[in-house]
Amino acid sequence: MNTFPTTRREFLSRASGGFGTLALAGLCSDLEATPDNPLSPRIGHHEAKADRVIFLYSTGGTSHVDTFNHRPQLTADHGKSITASRWLNKSGDFKRFLIKPRWAFKQYGQSGTWVSDLFPHLGSVIDDVCVLNAMHCESDGHDKATLAAHTGSAQFARPSAGSWVSYGLGTVNQNLPSFMVLAPAAPYAGAQTWGSDFLPGCHQGTHVIPSKEPLPNIRPRVPNPELQQMELTLLGRMNKAHLKRRAADQSLEARIRSFETAFGMQREAPEAFDLSEETEDTLRLYGLPRGATSGFGWQCLVARRLAERGVRFLELIDVGSSGNWDSHGNMGDHERLAKAIDKPIAGLLTDLKQRGMLDRTLVVWTTEFGRTPFNAKANHAGREHHNLCFSSWMAGGGVEGGIVHGQSDEYGILTAEDAVHTHDLHATMLHLMGLDHERLTYRYAGRDFRLTDVHGRVVQELLN
């Protein structure tokens, strides 16, 4: 009697232990939140104010004195010569000329927060925003400052903030990655900005490129779901047996987890990225034409949908065909760049608030550094890199809206009051997610690492 399986279905059924139509159970048990699953949902160190983060990153260095840091004295003293202590990554005494902003500022909302004409839509929701006008960081080089903004380290590749949040809290939806990056391209420093480095590979960001097919090859290869279930169960058992003999291989563990996540994504991701059921009012809120599959409006709306479905950390990188904010030669570029993101960001904040999500969603906007309020010539059309003072903002998720935290000097050159370092921003983000930045550590190469290294403080003054 022939005892060998005669069909693919029979072979898979026997190899997976005879479970037949229940073969998926083995795989699903791995996807459930269990103590040995690095993506299982976990409780933080203290009560969280936010359940998720949407991190908006404008790459290239947005000028603070043209956007959120209203410095009327800079306008009054346009063309006046000063002595700058820092210029193009060098320290010394440099004679330079003050250059006023190209755009006027207005006060918005009940808070009366000053916002430039570059961001009228964001101005309309500014009462939900806390502006940080005394940010600073170590480096005025793009790669280093971008790394620092994402990983806390300007010198070495380290796990990104999203990876640390994933490591600390896991995910509440095992069918979607805990950390996703929506970006047409990488910023300066490349994919390191969403890498997990020495943390388990399952915590690195999943990069999604806006397009008609943002997640290619997500459709099942096997048309019969039952057959695919049996295949994946058998593959899972073989992978686990292989991993037991190579327990120290993190890349192998990450690869196995990626198979499991990908299976779950086949069921949930297509619906999450399908905007066809969104109303015209919602699309209009984001400035998104129906059927559009790119642009910052698409990134913002998809981020809201993924946040609804339990993704812990979402990064939206503002870069694309319109270039980036590195306006050395022409500050006029800022107008085009701001127009591309102003309405989508305001729409995101409005939509989150209307849906009752903003209170538990921390929205952060930042850039790697600002731009000089001065230049080598009084009539220069651009601005250079400036890390000694720049602007960021936060909203929702436990942040007090309608306030401005921190002040610069009268020209926006140096921080003058309530300065916030990048390490402080990261510490505050983690705190609002229920994580103590000093206790969230990972032992690697003989020492304990953390997102904020040996620095950082929670900026209590901006919390509600």
Task: Give the pLDDT band (50/70/90) at residue 20.
Answer: very low
Higher pLDDT, 235 or 381: 381
For the record, the structure tokens of 100 come out as 């006023």
The burial of 216, by beta-carbon neighbours within 10 Å (0-12 exposed, 13-18 middle, 19 or more buried), is given as exposed
Cα gap 107→128, rounded to integer Å: 14
Q: Is residue 207 helix, strand or coil?
A: strand
DSSP state of 71: -
Give the residue-averaged pLDDT of 85-98: 90
- Selected from 3.40.50.720, 3.40.720.10, 1.20.1270.360, 3.40.50.880, the CATH number assigned to the domain covering 39-214+273-462 reads 3.40.720.10
Q: Is the pLDDT of residue 131 over 80?
A: yes
pLDDT value of residue 267: 74
For residue 180, name the pLDDT band (cuts at 50, 70, 90).
Answer: very high
Top-confidence residue, 336 or 88:
336
Nearest residue to 153 (alpha-carbon basis) of 138, 168, 140:
138
Lowest mean pLDDT among 248-252, 368-372, 444-448: 248-252
**Taking the domains of the chain in order of start, what are their residue ranges?**
39-214+273-462, 218-270
CA gap 203, 159 in Å, rounded: 9
